[in-house]
Amino acid sequence: MSYQVLARKWRPRHFDEMVGQGHVLRALANGLANGRLHHAYLFTGTRGVGKTTVARILAKCLNCEADGVTDHPCGECAACTEIDAGRFVDLIEVDAASRTKVEDTRELLDNVQYAPTRGRFKIYLIDEVHMLSAHSFNALLKTLEEPPEHVKFLLATTDPQRLPVTVLSRCLQFNLKPLLPKMIGEQLERIAGEEGIEVEPTAVARLARAADGSMRDALSLTDQALAFGGGRLVDAEVRDMLGSIEQDFLVELLECLAASDGPGLLDRMARMAESAPDFGEALAELLAMLHQLSLAQTVPAVFDADDPAAARLAALAGRLDPAWVQLLYQIALQGRRDLPLAPDPRAGFEMVMLRMLAFEPDPADAADRAGTPRATPAPSAAPSTARQSATAKATAPPAPEAPSPAPATDATDNAPAPEPPVGGDWHRLAAALSLSGMAQALADHCDWVGREGGRVTLQIDEGHRHLVNDNVTARLAEALSAHFGEPVSVHIEMGEVDAETPAAAAERREAERQAEARAAIESDPNIAALRATFDAEVISESIRPRD
């Protein structure tokens, strides 16, 4: 007996055998049970989600000889068996992609007026209906709006946007959704059990993800994997067939990124390339892994306990700064889009990984945001912009150090220590601190009030109260402690700031530069000539000072 592929052998024959699509099946079943039958149904959705299958089951529901119009056809009468076999005379299936001409459509509609030969209804199932020409749609419209009572139209398309609105308005529309990998995996395991196929759960999960929401694609890939693996579904063989990369490689790449280990990163990419993987698929799996890491930083229990890499991923979720994980995800997403433009896929993949290494965040700032210390990164083959920024700050002229308070002559003397000067310039001190983000903004909008022993007091106006919180204040205190060489705490007072803050000074300097640029334009003789000759007008808002 000839072999029948899984996608045909396991095509659902009743609504309750369908995987997913409950919102569509419920509406159809209720309409059939209550006798609310429409003359035209439109099923939309991506390939392999069950559009044609639902239409054929609906044809059986309408023409079942044993139970009449029902939401559960018997599957044994002549009409049901002939529809399953594809030879029912009153089910006319049309592939619109191969019959696009208006003559084909008119020939088809010439027979609409005749009563069905065997069944209760004459059913026209038009697949890929969006491929019909404009003239064909015009020929179909009148019949589609007022067909004879014995005719039903079942239309299926993957691209409903290409259908004229006049056709859409005459149909009941049902959008079939892509299936979740979990749904596909459960169906594959059930089919494997019925077929007596030896499977590994990880192999089934890999096939379900590769199917991209399509049950038919999943069954076709399963057929291919069975041929590749000699009748078994083994994860290593499925991975080789799909060109997937071993998960351990991707975890090691992330661990190298976390440690800023450039040589190690290049070494692992070289070993990975020896297996000739699909680098686009590797980036897709890396994106899925980064998505898991981001979820784990919010919901720690997201990892599957059966996943052999779960412990290493959980450790990475604790080490990596959440903002950096988001940046890595965006770099990988952009890299996957750009991969076809690279000279070769391996070079494109390597550039994506090196870009991730180059744009690592400042380790000190990442530790502040995460609330945990981060290990000092190892020397990297690719210098990061964060390190360049840190170097620039280190070479800038430091603000004058504040001398330590004079020691008290008596250990029991509780009089406050004399306030250390800040070199008369809080602006320079705020600029010299190793800060970024909200902590830098807080320092820039504050004014120095004083220091008593290990306590620094700053003042900020009410309009910037939103910058003050425990986490940001702690980061500012750590930076000041590093600057003074001893632990200090920071106290923020709310009130009107009389002196000019660093932020206000920056705004004033920018306004002065803007005013100078406008004055230079206004006094330029060439501009004056253009005004006189062409009645030109200078748009002041468009003038920007040159950096």
Q: Measure the CA dihedral 241/226/222/205, to 10°.
A: -70
Q: Mind listing the pLDDT tens digit for each residue in 109-122?
A: 888 888 888 889 99
Checking if the pLDDT of 56 tops 90, the result is yes
Which of 419, 547, 446 has its CA nearest to residue 505? 446
Give, in degrees to the nearest 5, the angle at Cα 137 between 79 and 161. Answer: 95
Which of 97, 102, 59, 98 has its CA nearest to residue 81? 59
What confidence tier does 410 reach under pLDDT thresholds 50, 70, 90? very low
Which of 82, 390, 432 has its CA nearest to residue 260? 390
Q: What is the reported pLDDT for 318? A: 81
Q: What is the reported pLDDT for 190? A: 92
Q: What is the reported pLDDT for 187? A: 92
Q: What is the mean pLDDT of the chain?
A: 82
For the record, the structure tokens of 486 come out as: 């001893």
Q: Mind listing the pLDDT tens digit for each residue in 330-382?
A: 999 999 999 999 988 999 999 999 999 888 665 555 445 444 444 444 444 34
Lowest-confidence segment of 33-42, 166-175, 464-473 by average pLDDT: 464-473
Q: What is the reported pLDDT for 138? A: 86
Q: What is the reported pLDDT for 275? A: 76
Phi first, then psi, for residue 156 (nearest 5°) are: -135, 140
Amino acid at 547: D
Q: What is the reported pLDDT for 188? A: 92
Cα 273 to Cα 59, 206, 264, 266, 268: the distances in Å are: 51, 20, 14, 11, 9
Under 8 Å between Cβ of 54 and 167 = no
Q: Name which residue leads in pLDDT, 247 or 539.
A: 539
Checking if the pLDDT of 534 tops 50, the result is yes
Amino acid at 93: E
Lowest-confidence segment of 142-146, 410-414, 436-440 by average pLDDT: 410-414
Q: What is the reported pLDDT for 140? A: 86
Q: Whole-angstrom Cα distance, residue 365 to residue 308?
A: 32
Checking if the pLDDT of 43 tops 90, the result is yes
CA neighbours within 13 Å on the CB side: how many for 181? 13
Which of 121, 122, 124, 126 has its CA nearest to residue 155? 126
For the record, the structure tokens of 359 come out as: 């744009």
Place of tokens 């009743």: 14
Q: Which helix (H) or strand (E) holds 490?
A: strand 489-494
Q: What is the reported pLDDT for 361? A: 60
Average pLDDT over residues 270-286: 85
Checking if the pLDDT of 541 tops 80, the result is no
Average pLDDT over residues 405-431: 54
Q: What is the reported pLDDT for 375? A: 44
Q: What is the reported pLDDT for 304? A: 63
Q: What is the reported pLDDT for 402? A: 44
Lowest-confidence segment of 270-274, 298-302, 406-410 by average pLDDT: 406-410
Percent of the chain at pLDDT > 90 equals 25
Residue 69, classed as helix, strand or coil, is: coil
For the record, the structure tokens of 349 come out as: 């993949």
Checking if the pLDDT of 537 tops 90, the result is no
Which of 290, 253, 183 has its CA nearest to residue 245? 253
Q: Mind listing the pLDDT tens digit for each residue in 457-506?
A: 999 998 888 888 888 898 899 999 988 889 989 999 988 888 888 988 88
Amino acid at 7: A
Place of tokens 């096939």: 207
Q: Which helix (H) or strand (E) holds 157?
A: strand 151-157
Checking if the pLDDT of 383 tops 70, the result is no
Which of 232, 229, 324, 241 has its CA nearest to residue 281? 241
Average pLDDT over residues 66-84: 89
Q: Mind listing the pLDDT tens digit for each residue in 143-160?
A: 888 888 899 999 999 999
Q: Is the pTM of this model over 0.75?
A: no
The one-character DSSP state at 418 is P
Under 8 Å between Cβ of 316 and 293 = yes
**Other CB atoms within 10 A of residue 319 CB:** 17
**Which residues lie closer than 8 Å to 153 by C-beta, 6 or more apart?**
39, 40, 41, 123, 124, 126, 144, 147, 171
**Buried b / exposed e along 220-259 (16+ C-beta atoms within 10 A):** bbbeebbeebeebbbbebbbbbbebbbbebbbbbbbbbbb
Average pLDDT over residues 213-234: 89
The most confident of the ranges 89-93, 137-141, 145-149, 233-237 is 89-93
Under 8 Å between Cβ of 259 and 377 = yes
Q: Across the strands, what pairs with 172?
A: 41
Under 8 Å between Cβ of 121 and 83 = no
